[in-house]
Chain A
């Protein structure tokens, strides 16, 4: 049976949903193993066992987080060799993709990014050209590296749990030599909202919010949603650049995308048109966003959004 290695960087106290998705996909392809970096807390270890992980690998070095990507790729390459894995799964974050990139050269392995589904034979499904095409692709090499988008499948624990042993992987001493070092880290204040790329619901604002994201934040909190923005809103400095959805920002595929005061030019559409349901609120009836919205309101977002928020709160009691 094929061995599938999932890389989980800093599992934290509880595994992220995206990690559970990777484990579920790994099980559908073969025998799942996990290479992690950082501390493994009891709850996370229990979840790995519950998801049927057969083997666990940890790095001999504790300072991989002090460097950008390079040493993590070296560690992972050694873990692939130790485990005999023929498929490697990582998350589709910028760092996940870069680790996959360096790993692929070390192993001579094909890498496919932005994967949304994997067939049992290793065929990967993804969309390209900003969601205008769906394609299938396959690595033609003995080992395949796939970076999988969050929200691709529903995580499911294994029928029977496991009790995996942890094996320490020697990280080559040369791993840190040609690597960029992280010399300072400033944590940003936590918003308490879900991560934009993983959120089930996204409420996004554009030029029409005119500097006031308040009504969007209240709606987002009533729905348990993340906040997004168009480039016009981030360029105006109304909200951080990390909230930008679109060609030069993040690509999101939530269950529900609520677009408020965004015209929906092609640049913004590129980041959200694979959302399952799109709701748009805009004053201008001619906005292109109404061409792709499942439900559209031509109206003032400062009237419509607070009314919707109040109605949701009333219904949820």
Chain B
């Protein structure tokens, strides 16, 4: 049996992608009023739970810590993670964080991860393949760079053994086997597992679990290093893209394939 694991899973509270989403305010930030735990982060949490459970779970001393950075509402992403099975939750929240770009976000998260590793460093930092709102996929790599750790992104499988990880990555032209020393930052795809749903037992158990709230002062970050002032990029303008409108719709009466080609020819697409 190997030693126990301490895994930090980054979870984000994002606007539900099933509905229309909006930018708001002078800085054109995302409207977070109708938000949920990012669907893609559930795969990271499931991967963490499976690794922990394979080593005897929480009872054997393994820890899965769900960490979310965001305004007050983001605590709901942490609560949901605890219901699904994370052993403890951490909410990094500070007014000065609003409007942080990927660079400022990675700075704050790196400081929070160091803070959480003060007694014993985390073995693994797990994330989803992207946030479903920002969609830049920058934070895992920036975080790895700031922490001086190897990164393995888009893992479609993940195994840990003797201080080393092995992952599979499926590219367009090839599939790679990757190895890295722990600790490492790993992002997982939606192909890696089938995330579990919280059950009644999990929901009841979550009520007894601890959620720690951290401020910037707690993690030793100055307000000027984050938010708009700490960001290295600024959104200058934002416009709603005019919605697409329906064009010609025909019902096939035996020659629709030919009409389709005529349409393509008229559009000079052949």
Q: Which of B150, B191, B257 contacts A70 (CB 8 A)?
A: B150
> Across the interface, which residues of B come within 8 angstroms of A129, CB to CB?
21-23, 30, 133
Q: What is the bound-complex CA distance between A278 and B30, given in angstroms?
A: 28
Are B234 and A315 touching (Cβ within 8 A)?
Answer: no
Nearest B-chain residue to A295, judged by Cβ: B263
Are A298 and B251 touching (Cβ within 8 A)?
Answer: yes
Are B260 and A111 touching (Cβ within 8 A)?
Answer: no
Query: Residue B161 at the A interface, CB < 8 A?
Result: no
Q: What is the bound-complex CA distance between A187 and B175, given in angstroms?
A: 7
Query: Residue A104 at the B interface, CB < 8 A?
Result: yes
Are A190 and B173 touching (Cβ within 8 A)?
Answer: yes
Contact size range, B: 35 or more
Are B252 and A300 touching (Cβ within 8 A)?
Answer: yes
Interface string of B127-156 (1 = CB under 8 A from A): 001001101111111101110111111100
Instruction: Give chain A nearest CB distance to B236 CB in angstroms.
Output: 5
Query: Residue A18 at the B interface, CB < 8 A?
Result: no
Instruction: Give chain B nearest CB distance to A310 CB in angstroms.
Output: 7
Chain A interface, DSSP helix/strand/loop, else mixed: mixed
Which residues in window 250-270 of B have CB below 8 A to A?
250-252, 255-261, 263-265, 267, 269-270
Nearest B-chain residue to A123, judged by Cβ: B236
Query: Residue B221 at the A interface, CB < 8 A?
Result: no
Query: Residue B178 at the A interface, CB < 8 A?
Result: yes
Query: Residue A75 at the B interface, CB < 8 A?
Result: no
Interface centre among A270, A273, A279 (most CB of B within 10 A): A279
Which residues in window 224-267 of B have CB below 8 A to A?
231-241, 244-252, 255-261, 263-265, 267
Query: Residue A5 at the B interface, CB < 8 A?
Result: no
Instruction: Give chain A nearest CB distance to B241 CB in angstroms.
Output: 6
Query: Residue B40 at the A interface, CB < 8 A?
Result: yes
Chain B interface, DSSP helix/strand/loop, else mixed: mixed
The number of A-B residue pairs with CB atoms under 8 Å apart is: 263
Query: Residue A106 at the B interface, CB < 8 A?
Result: yes
Q: Which of A68, A114, A132, A134 contacts B178 (CB 8 A)?
A: A68
> Across the interface, which residues of A come within 8 angstroms of B255, CB to CB?
307
Query: Residue A184 at the B interface, CB < 8 A?
Result: yes
Given A137-B233, A190-B173, A248-B40, A255:B269 Cβ within 8 A: yes
> Across the interface, which residues of B come within 8 angstroms of A42, CB to CB?
none
> Across the interface, which residues of B come within 8 angstroms of A151, CB to CB?
none
Are A308 and B260 touching (Cβ within 8 A)?
Answer: yes
Q: What is the bound-complex CA distance between A41 and B174, given in angstroms?
A: 22
Are A101 and B248 touching (Cβ within 8 A)?
Answer: no
Q: What is the bound-complex CA distance between A191 and B270, given in angstroms?
A: 21
Q: Which of B137, B240, B260 contacts A133 (CB 8 A)?
A: B240
Are A138 and B257 touching (Cβ within 8 A)?
Answer: no
Are A298 and B174 touching (Cβ within 8 A)?
Answer: no
> Across the interface, which residues of A come within 8 angstroms of B241, CB to CB?
127, 131-134, 274
A-B contact pairs, 5 of them (CB 8 A): A127-B241, A135-B238, A247-B132, A281-B256, A315-B261
| Shortest Cβ-Cβ A-B pairs, 8 listed | A307-B257, A299-B252, A110-B232, A101-B141, A180-B180, A294-B247, A308-B257, A184-B177
